[in-house]
Structure 1
Amino acid sequence: TTLSILISQPVSITTPKVKVITLNKLKESFDIPNVCIEVRFMSGLAGANLLVLKVPDAGIIADLMMGGKGDKKTEELSEIQMSAVSEAMNQMIGTAATSMATMFSREVNISPPDAHIWDNRSQKLSQYIDQDDELVQISFRLTIGKLVDSVIMLLLSMDAAKEVIDAMTAAYKDTSAPVEKEKKQADEAKPASDKKENVKQNKEDVQVHKAEFTPLQEVKQEPKPRNIDLILDVPIEISVILGKSNKTIKDILELNNGSLIELDKLVEEPVDILVNGKMVAQGEVVVVNENFGVRITNIISNEERVKGLKE
């Protein structure tokens, strides 16, 4: 899972339990305090997601995110810990949004996470979901190695849940419609007299004849025109990678004005030139009329490009 990659620990999430409830009723069953992380759908779907975590569990996740061992239990979270947990939950929901976008064949965008500590029953759980509105509660049992064995809760507004159901239903109909259409067309193509003829043939003696085929005539195929001119003006994104560096969440959160990030490229080493995210060439950085530019020094061969796609 995404969370497992972020914290470098085995993560297990059980089959969810789903029910409809209101926030007011839900608050009565909650222990205090909890971490609430709210993410809204900005496009593709409507509504909001609300993730609820126990504070000690959130503290362990935050410690793991920042390179710790997760053995420090806490009842209070610092601002940095809240940011780390928010980022973890944001990555999880972002991955889910990407999967839904693929499933529904539409773009799904989410808002940045809005995290807060819920430590008062009179306090609102959500800024975007009314306390008396019905919502869908999806509960998972979450285990992280031997450190966490708890329940994580995803709350979907009814609008969001209906959007997901409608999109899944539409996707199912789209995949099943062509099969049903072909079957219907095949049935309609059969002449009505077929059944009567079959009955007559069963009553008569079966006669066997040698198969005779009409000789095939050679058909000359004219070469198809290559309409490459039609796509010559299609814009393509070209990007240049100066270098890369791997940092922990802790390192990122500690960045300030003037901080230095060391890249994995040497001074004279060529930079990578990418077209639509695929490397096609290498070059050296130059200055052209007070702007940065790249002089191509090496074109990647087709064989190397194929190898790159397989990696």
Structure 2
Amino acid sequence: MSRDMLSQEEIDALLRANNLVGDEEEPENNNDDTDITEFLTAFEQDALGEIGNISFGSAATALSTLLGQKVDITTPTVSIIKRSTLEDEFPRPHVAVHVEYTDGFQGINLLVIRVDDAAIIADLMMGGDGRPATTDLSEMHVSAVQEAMNQMMGSAATSMSTIFNKLVNISPPGIDIWDLSQPEGKNNIPDVDFLVKISFRLMVGEHGELIDSSIMQLLPVPFAKQMLDMLMGGASAAEPAATPEPAISAPTPSPEPAWDNLAPVAATAEAVRPPVSQQPPVQPPAMQQPGMQPPMYGQPQMDPYAQQYQMQPPPGYPPYPYPPYPYPPQYQQPPAAPPAPQHFGGLGATPQPSASVKPAQFSAFGMGSVPSIDDQNLNLLLDIPLQVTVELGRTKKVIKDILELSAGSIIQLDKLAGEPVDILVNNKLVAKGEVVVIDENFGVRVTDIISQWDRVQKLQ
């Protein structure tokens, strides 16, 4: 029996060999898994899911209208798949609809559903009960599915126009029956290595009894990045415009002082300014210096330069009051003047016409008393007949919906039950009311109405 038993050394050798095999196989399995974080951050994944959620929410409404059934498209899941592993992702035949964006974006979008789900959709569109006898798709079934996908992608493009605040248009969709085991099944798949897969749960029926499956959207990674850049890159695109432009340099090459240091510079300029008696009055009149500013002193007493500005305002303006900022005057320095006042004068590179600024005064636009209506003139118009219309509500329909109307069709309006109806006179809204029954006729009880003056103005 001792020959049939393994020694401890043999057991350890077998365990080490087993661990080595496991270590060699584990990297191969990991290489098959694609980490989505290498391509999209968690925030970008959420953004793509939200874009798909909003877009396919409107697509579900369009599909529900076509099928006459309740349709829910919810729970987006974002992942990354390799183009080389599509056959493993879709082992069974699928129906794929591809559309290309013609306006707003540059890219291709694939919408993929299972063949048996496509057969149910086609059966419902052709008047069936959603339980086809076979899942084989005839040419008519394929056309019906293509039309359904066209309506869905059109509604999704409209929603994307709202999301991105730009016009988004798509090309007419093309449809393929995917059997990825065959080479011709990959003709319309984007020629990229990786695709973003956004999978939604598709439920058709009151409780999903007809279809409870998934519908998948495939996007090339660059196209998904393009959408994310447009969605979140609005701020980054506006950053260059938000960067403050360099100020126009002053004639003097000295740099402009910081705003915090303006007060010390002003004091220095005031201290080094030569006496007034030593300077000839070489300053031209104020009208010849549109870029100059009036003297800005905080003291009530002004020197002759300040009085010269005070006495010569531009035509049509009152004499200058005491300036609000304690800056020294910006005047032309004689050649013998020190450079300090000229350095401060460089701040006038961007003219500030504070001399001509006055507090804005606005007239009151209140209605005041309502003008009285001239009864004598109004009496001349009292016999003119007017068309009074009570509008229950409105809605919009496409030509296809209008052509499909028949006896028994129900049109849903934009008014809620119990909401006041509109009362129009000559197609102009003047009041609101509620519908009542008078004897055998309908009537309307006025609940809110504009004033007589406004009514007269409406009729003009």
Q: TM-score range by the shorter chain?
A: 0.5 to 0.7
The residue type equivalent to 2:218 in the other structure is L
Instruction: Note the residue ranges of structure 1 that are not aligned, 5 or more in a row.
Output: 182-190, 193-216, 223-240, 249-260, 262-298, 307-311
**What pairs up with 1:125-164 in 2 under 5 angstroms?**
125-145=185-205, 146-164=209-227
Q: 1:40 aligned to 82, 95, 100, which one?
A: 100
Matched, 1:108 2:168: yes
Return the alpha-carbon distance in structure 2 between the equivalents of residues 35 and 82 of structure 1.
9
User: Structure 2: which amino acid aligns with 1:25?
Assistant: T
Q: Give distance in 1, aligned partners of 2:220 and 2:426.
A: 50
Contact 1:86 1:113 in 2 (8 A): yes
The equivalent of 1:207 in structure 2 is none
Q: Which residue of 1 aligns with 2:427?
A: 301
Give, in angstroms, the shift of residue 120 of structure 1.
4.6
- The 1:4–1:173 alpha-carbon spacing in structure 2 relative to 1, beyond 3 Å, is farther
Contact 1:55/1:74 (CA < 8 Å) preserved in 2?
A: no
Aligned to 2:228: 165
Aligned-residue RMSD, C-alpha: 4.0
SS of 1:46's equivalent in the other structure is coil
Question: Cα distance 1:27–1:131, how it changes in 2: closer, same or farther (>3 A)?
Answer: farther
CA contact 1:20–1:135 (8 Å) conserved in 2: yes
Q: Give how far 1:172 is off.
A: 6.5
8 Å CA contact 1:39–1:111 kept in 2: the answer is yes
Q: Does the Cα contact within 8 Å between 1:129 and 1:157 map onto a contact in 2? A: no
Match of 1:28 among 88, 93, 101: 88
| Superposition deviation, residue 109 in structure 1 | 0.8
* Structure in which a larger fraction of residues adopt strand: 1
Higher helix content, 1 or 2: 2
Q: Secondary structure at the match of 1:67?
A: coil
Rounded to whole Å, the distance in 1 between the matches of 2:120 and 2:150 is 17
Shift of 1:160: 2.1
Contact 2:86 2:180 (8 Å CA) reproduced: no
**Structure 1 residue identity aligned to 2:155:** T
Please say if 1:52 is aligned against 2:112: yes
- 2:112 is paired with a residue of what secondary structure? strand
One-letter identity of the residue aligned with 1:167: M
Secondary structure in 2 matching 1:20: strand
Pairing of 1:157-196 with structure 2 (within 5 A): 157-171=220-234
> Which of 170, 177, 180 is matched with 1:117 structurally?
177
Q: Distance in 2 between matches of 1:303 and 1:175?
A: 43
Q: CA deviation at 1:302?
A: 2.5
For the pair 1:17 / 2:71, whether they are aligned, the reply is no
Please give the alpha-carbon distance, in whole angstroms, between the structure 2 residues aligned to 1:115 and 1:88: 11
Paired residue type of 1:303: L
Q: Displacement, 1:41?
A: 0.8
Where does residue 7 of structure 1 map in the other structure? 67
Call closer, same or farther: CA 1:218–1:166 in 2, change over 3 Å. closer
Give the TM-score, by structure 2 length: 0.39
CA deviations over 1:205-234 (Å, ceiling 9, x no partner): xxxxxxxxxxxx985469xxxxxxxxxxxx
- Larger relative contact order (Cα-Cα within 8 Å, sequence gap ≥ 6): 1
Letter in 2 for 1:47: G
CA separation in 2, counterparts of 1:242 and 1:76? 32
* Percent of aligned pairs sharing the same letter: 43
The aligned amino acid for 2:144 is A
Structure 1 residue 132: Cα displacement:
4.9
Task: Indicate conservation of the 8 Å contact 1:36/1:117, yes or no.
Answer: yes
Contact 1:104-1:171 at 8 Å conserved across structures: no
Query: 1:218 and 1:14, CA in 2 relative to 1: closer, same or farther beyond 3 A?
Result: closer
How many pairs does the alignment contain?
209
